[in-house]
């Protein structure tokens, strides 16, 4: 198993390098100038030149590429063109905010998804199942920006129960520790719901299908024949085995954990990576775009590896060498 992991990690290094190189050249293929923000008759053209030189954009492409790869190898992610600060600082600030959102969304995702999937499977083809299926599809089809705005209008504007945006209240610093904790929790409710509920629907479908398959197995019939209570049959024996495909989903979900969701973050003014990345793309902020792609690439590789390893841990029938 260890050998397997090491081999996978070694293979992923050239993969990440290829990804980085591809990103570097593709983003520069996009027409448009990172210095577009300096466009104004009141700005001296000499100023644009100075900045262009400072950002290294006057060098030929291959020189810029080599410089970038070398600094990357030393752990330097560069300086953002539009934020005027080191990319690493921006990531360090934005990623934890995104993580808070996405981890909780993941929890909601799994808990609700698994629960609904299980209920749907147990009561297959019943009214419950059909209603849940339609309901899941309904929620899944809702555009997240619309759902987000509707929730804000209902819970913030009309009912005043939940705050409309941001991570905490204006006077949060004057609250007690408990008060502040509660304040943050309230702020999390709607964005987490919007982010998590759509994937919960798809997790539910996978769960349902997987559980239906497992329940037909002989060992489940044996467990019932042995006289075990139905709840133990389902929740202990069947469920755990049915969770295996969900583990794969978990691994594939990993990259999303850090890159966040632009739409939810924009509607709820959540200062996360999704917004930063999209803003950077429009501003042709190459250092941020490349850093984010790298992070996403590493997460995809790590996610896949994690899923495969967990798969092997959870299912003793699977052996790697």
Partner 1 sequence: MTRLAHWRAVWPLAATLALAGCGGGPAAEGENEAALEPVAGGTCVVGLFSDYDSLNEFVSTDANATDVMENLLYMPLLRWNADIELEGRLAKSWEFSDDGRDVTMELRDDIRWHDGVPTTADDVAFSFERFRDPALGYPDQGALRYLESVEVLGLHRVRFHFTQPYADQLAHLRKVIMPKHLLEGTPSAEMESAPFNRNPVGNGPFKFVRWRQQQEVVLEANEDFPDGRPRLDRIVIRTIPDQTAIETALRSGQVDVVDRLRYETIDSFRRDSAFQVLGYEQRGYQFVGWNLRDPLFADERVRLAMTLAINRQRILDALVFGEGKVTANPVMSLSPFYADDIDPHPYAPDSAKALLAEVGWSDTNGDGVLDKDGKPFEFTLVTNLGNQLREDTLVMIQDDLKRVGVTVVPEVREWSIFLDEVTHKRFQAFHMAWQTDFIVNPYDTFHSDAIEGKYNICSYSNPRVDALIDEGLLQRTREAAMPIWHEYQEILHREQPYTILFELRYSVGASKRIRGMEIDARGTFVNAEEWWIALKDRKYAS
Residue 62 makes CB contacts below 8 A (sequence gap 6+) with: none
3-state secondary structure of 269: coil
Give the one residue of 62, 84, 226, 319 binding partner 1; rule: CB under 8 A. 84
For partner 1, the binding residues in 174-233 under the rule CB under 8 A are: 174-175
Residue 45 makes CB contacts below 8 A (sequence gap 6+) with: none
For residues 98 and 292, give the distance between their C-alpha atoms in angstroms, rounded to a whole number. 13
Pick 164 or 294: Cβ nearer partner 1: 164
For partner 1, the binding residues in 271-300 under the rule CB under 8 A are: 271, 275-276, 282, 284
3-state secondary structure of 307: helix
The H-assigned helical ranges of 142-243 are 144-151, 177-215, 218-225, 230-232, 239-242
What is the rounded (10 degree) CA torsion for 132, 134, 140, 144? Answer: -100
Contact status: 63 vs partner 1 (CB under 8 A): no
Pick 164 or 252: Cβ nearer partner 1: 164
Structure-token pair, residue 65: 């590429």
Taking phi over 0 as left and psi of -120 to 50 as alpha, with beta for the rest, 32 belongs to: left
Least distance (Å) between residue 19 CB and partner 1: 24
Least distance (Å) between residue 3 CB and partner 1: 43
Contact status: 75 vs partner 1 (CB under 8 A): no
Least distance (Å) between residue 244 CB and partner 1: 24
Pick 241 or 264: Cβ nearer partner 1: 264
Hey, how many other C-beta atoms are within 10 angstroms of the C-beta on 69? 13
Binding-site size for partner 1 (CB under 8 A) equals: 66
101 touches 264 (CB < 8 A): yes
Give the one residue of 109, 268, 289, 305 binding partner 1; rule: CB under 8 A. 268
Residue 74 makes CB contacts below 8 A (sequence gap 6+) with: none
Structure-token pair, residue 270: 């959540």
Pick 9 or 150: Cβ nearer partner 1: 150
Pick 117 or 251: Cβ nearer partner 1: 117
Pick 191 or 251: Cβ nearer partner 1: 191
Structure-token pair, residue 246: 């969900």
Report residue 10 CA to chain centroid gap: 25
Contact status: 237 vs partner 1 (CB under 8 A): no
311 touches 29 (CB < 8 A): no
DSSP 31: S
Pick 53 or 314: Cβ nearer partner 1: 53
How distant, in Å, are the alpha carbons of 65, 88, 282 from that of 255? 25, 18, 22
3-state secondary structure of 321: coil
Least distance (Å) between residue 315 CB and partner 1: 30
Phi, psi of 31 (to 5 degrees): -65, 155
Contact status: 43 vs partner 1 (CB under 8 A): yes
Give the one residue of 27, 99, 108, 119 binding partner 1; rule: CB under 8 A. 119
For partner 1, the binding residues in 120-159 under the rule CB under 8 A are: 127-128, 131-132, 135, 138-139, 149-154, 156-158
Contact status: 44 vs partner 1 (CB under 8 A): yes
Binding window for partner 1 (CB under 8 A); candidates: 6-14, 67-75, 161-169, 290-298: 161-169
Q: Which residues here bind partner 1, judged by CB under 8 A?
A: 30-33, 36-48, 50-51, 54, 79, 82-86, 90, 93-94, 116, 119, 127-128, 131-132, 135, 138-139, 149-154, 156-158, 160, 163-167, 170-171, 174-175, 266-269, 271, 275-276, 282, 284
């Amino acid at each position: 198993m260890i050998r397997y992991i090491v081999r996978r990690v070694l293979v992923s290094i050239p993969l990440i390098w290829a990804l980085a190189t591809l990103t570097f050249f593709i983003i520069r293929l996009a027409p448009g100038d990172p210095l577009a923000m300096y466009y104004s008759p009141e700005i001296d053209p000499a100023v644009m030149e100075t900045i262009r030189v400072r950002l290294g954009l006057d060098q030929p492409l291959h020189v810029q590429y080599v410089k970038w790869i070398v600094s990357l190898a030393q752990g330097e992610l560069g300086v953002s063109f539009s934020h005027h600060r080191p990319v690493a600082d921006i990531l360090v600030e934005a990623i934890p905010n995104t993580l808070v959102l996405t981890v909780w969304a993941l929890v909601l995702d799994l808990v609700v998804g698994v629960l609904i999937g299980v209920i749907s499977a147990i009561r297959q083809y019943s009214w419950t199942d059909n209603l849940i299926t339609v309901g899941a599809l309904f929620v899944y089809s809702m555009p997240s920006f619309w759902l987000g705005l509707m929730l804000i209008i209902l819970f913030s504007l009309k009912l005043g129960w939940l705050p409309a945006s941001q991570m905490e209240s204006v006077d949060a610093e004057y609250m007690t520790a408990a008060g502040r904790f509660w304040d943050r929790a309230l702020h999390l409710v709607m964005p987490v719901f919007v982010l998590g509920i759509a994937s919960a629907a798809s997790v539910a479908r996978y769960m349902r299908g997987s559980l239906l398959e497992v329940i037909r197995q002989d060992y489940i019939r044996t467990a019932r024949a042995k006289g075990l209570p139905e709840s133990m049959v389902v929740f202990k024996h069947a469920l755990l085995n049915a969770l295996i495909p969900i583990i794969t989903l978990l691994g594939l979900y990993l990259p999303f954990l850090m890159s966040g969701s632009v739409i939810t973050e924009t509607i709820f003014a959540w200062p996360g990576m999704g917004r930063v990345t999209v803003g950077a793309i429009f501003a042709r902020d190459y250092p941020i775009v490349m850093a984010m792609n790298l992070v996403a690439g590493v997460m995809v590789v790590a996610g896949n590896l994690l899923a495969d390893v967990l798969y092997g841990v959870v299912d003793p029938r699977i052996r790697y060498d």
